[in-house]
Structure 1
Amino acid sequence: MTSLTIRPAQVFDAAFAAPLIQDTIGKIGLELTGTRDDTDAAHVIAEFFALRGNRLSFTHTLIAEREGRPLGLAVAYPGDLAHALDEPFRAHRVSLGLPPGVDSEGVPGELYLDTLAVTEAARGQGLGGQLLEAVAERARATGLPHVGLLVEDGNPAARLYARQGFRVTGWRDLAGSRYAHMTLDVTQ
């Protein structure tokens, strides 16, 4: 099997990334975009993906690909910027006549992993673990001591995170669901 390449995303990755992001974040994506179904949410996410200065921008995304074919992605940004990166989504919601209510997820001192997603056909091949390693390397390179993420209570992905060294450090309620806040120390 050809080796995996992990590269920074480009604007042209929006058509691949947006539906995969929405499929992964579900209710949170509907809340961010002010939409009622996954197709509409993915359309709005694609528009935001192509722009800078928001949480789901291509500038915060890594793409995993094999032979030029994208298979997965990781969206991660400094937690210190979470509130500012959510402001465009708040403004979007207000433009739709909705309350601006978007809960920022990242916290200061961590590189916040907003989304980790692998296409269905590529699951079980270790891509998620390789993307997590790339995110940890990005945290180290930017001087952040932790990678943090939220995983919905009962989500089987929590096992992958635990195998990679993440540990539960707290709980949050978002979009009507309970999430474990997990962190990985990358200074060791």
Structure 2
Amino acid sequence: MIRQAVQEDVHEVLPLLLAAIGNIAHTLAGTEDDAETKRILAEFYGREGNRISFEHVLVYTREGHVVGMAISYPGDGAALLDRPFAERNALIHGAAGAEPIVVEAKEGEYYLDSIAVDEEYQGQGIAKELFAAFEERGKEAGYIRMSLIVESYNEGAYALYKKLNYLEDGIITVSGGQYRRMVKIIE
């Protein structure tokens, strides 16, 4: 079952989020320390008005447990959703010392920030259902252009997104890594 996430899902959503975003987690948290990153991102998850807030998360549950999640939001407000992370990092590290938060989404797009399924439940169509829910959410919000990024080296995910009719739309550098931007027009 897919439902809107709630704040109390944090302990099940956070490991999935961390697995999905890799080094981006450290950039958002402003630290390389794994425990501190988890603590900081858990706090942000529980607050509204940022890119990883529970308000942007759909969860897939089985027997009352979160086994998959997808984070999505309109690209039109993506810079505002990144601002709390940038402000926190600038406060801690100084404006010059903080690693920049790259806005991944473009205006006019509905953006899939991250998607992940617990390893035990992979291969059961959960990601496909979460993708469909993400696209439906985007359509309901009035968007026809869906977007995402995928690590340049992740050929498996790239092939899956191509199979789902996403087309490559350039390269973006985020947290020191190269990502392929992919888009899909939904009529």
TM-score bracket for this pair, using the shorter chain length: over 0.9
3-state SS, counterpart of residue 124 of structure 2? coil
Matched, 1:131 2:130: yes
- 8 Å CA contact 1:79–1:111 kept in 2: the answer is yes
Superposed CA deviations along residues 37-93 of structure 1, whole A, max 9, x for unmatched, are 333222211110000000000000000111211110000000011100000001111
Number of matched residues?
183
Structure 1: runs of 5 or more not aligned: none
Q: Distance in 1 between matches of 2:17 and 2:163?
A: 23
- 8 Å CA contact 2:27–2:99 kept in 1: the answer is no
Residues 1-188 of structure 1 aligned to structure 2 (within 5 Å)? 5-97=1-93, 98-99=97-98, 101-155=100-154, 156-187=156-187
Q: Distance in 1 between matches of 2:137 and 2:69?
A: 14
Q: Which stretch shifts more, 164-173 or 44-53?
A: 164-173
Superposed CA deviations along residues 134-158 of structure 1, whole A, max 9, x for unmatched, are 0000011011111100101021211
Q: Distance in 2 between matches of 1:165 and 1:20?
A: 25
Return structure 1 stretches of 4+ with deviation > 3 angstroms: none
3-state SS, counterpart of residue 10 of structure 2? helix
- 8 Å CA contact 2:30–2:98 kept in 1: the answer is no
Structure 2: runs of 5 or more not aligned: none
Q: Distance in 1 between matches of 2:80 and 2:20?
A: 22
Rate the CA distance shift 1:90–1:18 in 2: closer, same or farther, 3 A: same
Q: Distance in 2 between matches of 1:28 and 1:85?
A: 15
Q: Distance in 1 between matches of 2:26 and 2:75?
A: 21
Counterpart amino acid of residue 137 in structure 2 = R
3-state SS, counterpart of residue 76 of structure 1? strand
- 8 Å CA contact 1:147–1:186 kept in 2: the answer is yes
- 8 Å CA contact 1:26–1:38 kept in 2: the answer is no
Q: Distance in 1 between matches of 2:165 and 2:61?
A: 24
- 8 Å CA contact 1:91–1:100 kept in 2: the answer is no
TM-superposed CA distance for 1:174, in Å, is 1.4
Q: TM-score, normalised by structure 2?
A: 0.94
3-state SS, counterpart of residue 124 of structure 1? coil
3-state SS, counterpart of residue 96 of structure 1? helix
Identity of aligned residues (%): 36
Rate the CA distance shift 1:123–1:176 in 2: closer, same or farther, 3 A: same
- 8 Å CA contact 2:152–2:178 kept in 1: the answer is yes
3-state SS, counterpart of residue 106 of structure 2? coil
Q: Distance in 2 between matches of 1:47 and 1:29?
A: 13
